[in-house]
Amino acid sequence: MMFVSRGEAPLGIVYSTDAQVDPEVRVVDTFPDSTHAPITYPAAAAKGANPEAAAYLKYLSGAGARATWEKFGFVELSKKKK
């Protein structure tokens, strides 16, 4: 994406969430959902992690963080248009 952003490449394929935060990148088309598996970002606490790790993961999946996820273009799979 940096090559496109700097004008060093005419086109590139990037995640829409990445393109959204760079004002120098313009989305010209998207791949239909039917052409690829859903893009997911799984998260888990490692064995022996501090208790704060579990609390942080719970926060990330809760209503408190939802507005931030949505602000940056992330969509819950259960809410994605079919």
Residue 5: partners with Cβ closer than 8 Å, 6 or more residues away = 22, 24, 25
Q: pLDDT tens for residues 2-46?
A: 999 999 999 999 999 999 999 999 999 999 989 999 888 888 999
- State the Cα–Cα distance between residues 50 and 35, nearest whole angstrom: 39
Q: What is the pLDDT of residue 73?
A: 87
Q: Are the C-beta atoms of residues 80 and 37 closer than 8 Å to each other?
A: no
- State the Cα–Cα distance between residues 63 and 14, nearest whole angstrom: 27
Q: Using pLDDT thresholds of 50, 70 and 90, give the confidence band for residue 76.
A: confident
At residue 82, does pLDDT exceed 70?
no
Q: What is the pLDDT of residue 50?
A: 93
Q: Are the C-beta atoms of residues 1 and 14 closer than 8 Å to each other?
A: yes
